[in-house]
Chain A
Amino acid sequence: MHGPLYDLVLLPLIKIVVVLAAVLLIVAYLTFFERKLLSYMQVRIGPNRVGPRGWLQPIADGLKLFVKEDLVPGQAEKFVFLLAPVLIMAPALVMFSVIPFGPELWITDINIALLFILGVSSIGVYGVILGGWSSNSKFSLMGGLRSAAQMVSYEVPMGFAIVSVLLMARTLSLVGIVEAQKAAHLWYIVPGILAFGIYFICGVAETNRNPFDLPEAESELVAGFHTEYSGMKFAFFYLGEYTNMLVVSSLATIMFFGGWLRPFPNVAWLSFLDVIPPLVWFLAKVGFFIFVYIWFRGTFPRYRFDQLMAVGWKWLIPLSLVNLFVIGLGVLLLKG
């Protein structure tokens, strides 16, 4: 009933604009959410001056960063210095193109979505490394080097954890994974509890959050790779981090917690839960993981660099291999 122009250009564009706006708004309010939540964990009140109960704080923050002078250090490698924040922010946003928020609520459903996300998220590492290197500051350089080693190391076990989901779902499409969980009458957290643990730990490390926030360890490296950044460029790093948290949480929800499905999607007497729309289920699950992120930050000290690597290589990689083997065997025996 519509022409190809509508189907191929206009509709996707509208979807992209809506998702982008929603994601950016959510990310901005995530910073507020984190500050408030941390405050309550730390016997204080948190931002409460701008707007009612501080609700306009993220807007004020954004405005402040936006009108700040766009500063590039004299000794910096200018082009790379300007490119790095984009390399953080853009891939983080691109990943939302394949994430399904609910039934029929996605920009696109491609059959290699997981692979696409793994690939695109790896680009983010360049932003950190190049940002650290191009600043021409020793603290930034050390932050960049740390994150290079950290992100590369933690991508390996993360990949293995994802492969085990793939074995169970037999598809790389994120929509397919959710539907497979519905068909299997089971969230993958049950067989994949170990895989989930590994995935989430790696996810925390990939997003440089406590207790793995070494690339920006304030007490050691001042601000790590973004020491020399200010204004809007800093905002890109900052928002990029939160966007990545959102991606990691969304993926955890989709792969292990049934995406937009309600708990026990096949138990009939629980069908009253369907009153709550799928999108809300999805957001609630994502919100929980964001909460866990912030909870970590309020609780844990920071690992030392060599200890972090030891955790990755000596624990997570062998564990993820064992997990992969067990799940593979299970799939082979059950499905034949």
Chain B
Amino acid sequence: MAGPLEPLFDLEEMELSFGPQHPSTHGVLRVMLRLDGEKVMEAKPIIGYLHRGTEKLFEQETFTQCIPHTDRLDYIAAPTNNQGFVLAVEKLLGITVPPRASYIRMILAELGRISSHLLWLATHAIDLGAITPFFYTFREREIILDLFEEYCGARLTLNAMRVGGVPFELPDGWVEKCSAFIDEFPSHIDEYETLLTENRIWKKRTVGIGVISAEEAIDWGLTGPPLRGSGVKWDIRKVFPYDRYDEVEFEVPIGQAGDTYDRYLVRMEEMRQSARIIRQCLDRLPEGPVMAKVPKVLRAPEGMVYASVEAPKGELGYFLVTTAKGTKPYRCHVRPPSFINLQALPEMVKGSLVADLVAVIGTLDIVLGEIDR
């Protein structure tokens, strides 16, 4: 009898709850998988395990009191979170930040970017089975966290920026320490690359995995390295320069294929460019105050404002609505890059294997604090 072959036994699809407690979901992400053998037929991210109602909390607090809450969004890179929020409030109130404060902000933000990318590299490599880069990246991350600690007393939740500037002057010797680190850091990036970039297995695991084309990436609203990996030159620091980013020189690295490997290369180059920005900032650090003259109690005019920064994970935006003479935001919406980048996950892993799912979660570089807010 001609016809399609009937399977001898029922081929069942397996439902697998991947997370929220799983070593490589980077926090408490849960992915409901429908598997055919090891092949992913459907992947559905389920979020909300880390929801704290941060946006609602903003409504109860004065503008200054909001800043510590922003630390806890993307807790890997607190400086950019602070920066986005204070920029939004400054835009609303029309405050000009003194140049020295701007430069200190940029140094902190770029150190935060390096630290975030180092953590991404560490966990991404571990997800793909390479355990050694983890310890090398943490060696350097430790120095960055020490620099943060010396500046503001905290290592992760920095609370290091204020509306109108930064709260502290740089401590004595900080510039030299930071400078020494920035000088040697590019050689450490070379070390990581020795372990991974030309490694055959690493290439096999990342080239052509989780491909997303430039058009799709734009349609999904991806930002940051996932967008640039697909070849779109879009970096908030370049297209809508904030603070003093228009005064420093840096390149925006882009990939071509839009696969995991290109995103890896993009992030590696971004670390080099960040180091370059910090170098320039340290060299031209202007003298002057670190805080603008701002009233003790910040009162906003009635209005709406959106300000965004290029966070390590992509475009981080704050949308504030205020009432006349309000000391608190009437409403605050955060546009977290991870949340929007994560939406592309089901498309990127459809039809690939479980091992690729891990690679794609790693390459999107999500952080659940920011997704669930």
Listed in ascending order, the chain A residues whose CB lies under 8 Å from chain B are 38, 41-44, 138-139, 142, 146, 210-211, 213, 217-222, 297-307
**B257: min CB distance to chain A, Å:** 18
**Contact indicator B135/A43 (Cβ below 8 Å):** yes
A residues less than 8 Å from B131 (CB atoms): 38, 42, 297-298
By secondary structure, the B interface counts as helix
Alpha-carbon separation in the docked complex, A43 to B354 (Å): 31
**Contact indicator A42/B354 (Cβ below 8 Å):** no
**Contact indicator B205/A300 (Cβ below 8 Å):** no
Taking A297-B131, A300-B199 as known contacts, 4 extra A-B pairs with beta carbons closer than 8 A to each other, sorted by chain A number, are A43-B135, A299-B132, A302-B129, A302-B201
Query: Given A299-B195, A301-B205, A304-B353, do A213 and B136 touch, yes or no (CB 8 Å)?
Result: no
**B350: min CB distance to chain A, Å:** 16
The A-B contact count (CB < 8 A) is: 78
Interface centre among B14, B16, B129, B130 (most CB of A within 10 A): B129
From B120-128, B177-185, B294-302, B312-320, give the one contacting chain A.
B120-128
Query: Given A43-B136, A138-B14, A219-B23, do A302 and B195 touch, yes or no (CB 8 Å)?
Result: no
- Listed A/B pairs (22) with beta-carbon separation below 8 Å: A41-B132, A42-B131, A211-B129, A219-B23, A219-B24, A219-B126, A219-B128, A219-B129, A219-B358, A220-B24, A221-B354, A222-B23, A299-B195, A300-B129, A301-B205, A302-B130, A302-B201, A303-B201, A303-B205, A304-B204, A304-B205, A305-B355
A residues less than 8 Å from B354 (CB atoms): 142, 220-221
**Contact indicator A218/B201 (Cβ below 8 Å):** no
A residues less than 8 Å from B24 (CB atoms): 219-220
**Contact indicator B205/A302 (Cβ below 8 Å):** yes
Alpha-carbon separation in the docked complex, A306 to B208 (Å): 15
**A144: min CB distance to chain B, Å:** 13
Interface flags for B135-157 (1: CB within 8 Å of A; 0: not) read: 11001000000000000000000
* B43-73 residues at the A interface, CB under 8 angstroms: none
Any chain A CB within 8 A of the CB of B38? yes
Minimal Cβ-Cβ distance residue in A for B204: A307
**Contact indicator A217/B195 (Cβ below 8 Å):** no
**Contact indicator B129/A301 (Cβ below 8 Å):** yes
Any chain A CB within 8 A of the CB of B242? no
Any chain A CB within 8 A of the CB of B202? yes
A residues less than 8 Å from B356 (CB atoms): 304
Q: Which 5 A-B pairs have the closest CB atoms?
A: A302-B129, A42-B135, A301-B130, A219-B24, A219-B127
Alpha-carbon separation in the docked complex, A139 to B24 (Å): 14
**Contact indicator B129/A213 (Cβ below 8 Å):** yes
**Contact indicator A217/B132 (Cβ below 8 Å):** no
Alpha-carbon separation in the docked complex, A222 to B22 (Å): 6
Minimal Cβ-Cβ distance residue in B for A138: B16
**B235: min CB distance to chain A, Å:** 29
B residues less than 8 Å from A44 (CB atoms): 135
Query: Given A301-B199, A305-B38, A306-B353, do A220 and B130 touch, yes or no (CB 8 Å)?
Result: no
Query: Given A304-B355, A305-B38, do A210 and B136 touch, yes or no (CB 8 Å)?
Result: no
Query: Given A138-B14, A220-B358, A222-B22, do A305 and B129 touch, yes or no (CB 8 Å)?
Result: no
Minimal Cβ-Cβ distance residue in B for A221: B354
**B193: min CB distance to chain A, Å:** 14
Alpha-carbon separation in the docked complex, A221 to B25 (Å): 12
A residues less than 8 Å from B16 (CB atoms): 138-139
B residues less than 8 Å from A43 (CB atoms): 135-136, 139
**Contact indicator B204/A303 (Cβ below 8 Å):** yes
Alpha-carbon separation in the docked complex, A336 to B183 (Å): 67
**Contact indicator B201/A211 (Cβ below 8 Å):** yes
Query: Given A219-B128, A219-B358, do A305 and B199 touch, yes or no (CB 8 Å)?
Result: no
**Contact indicator B139/A301 (Cβ below 8 Å):** no
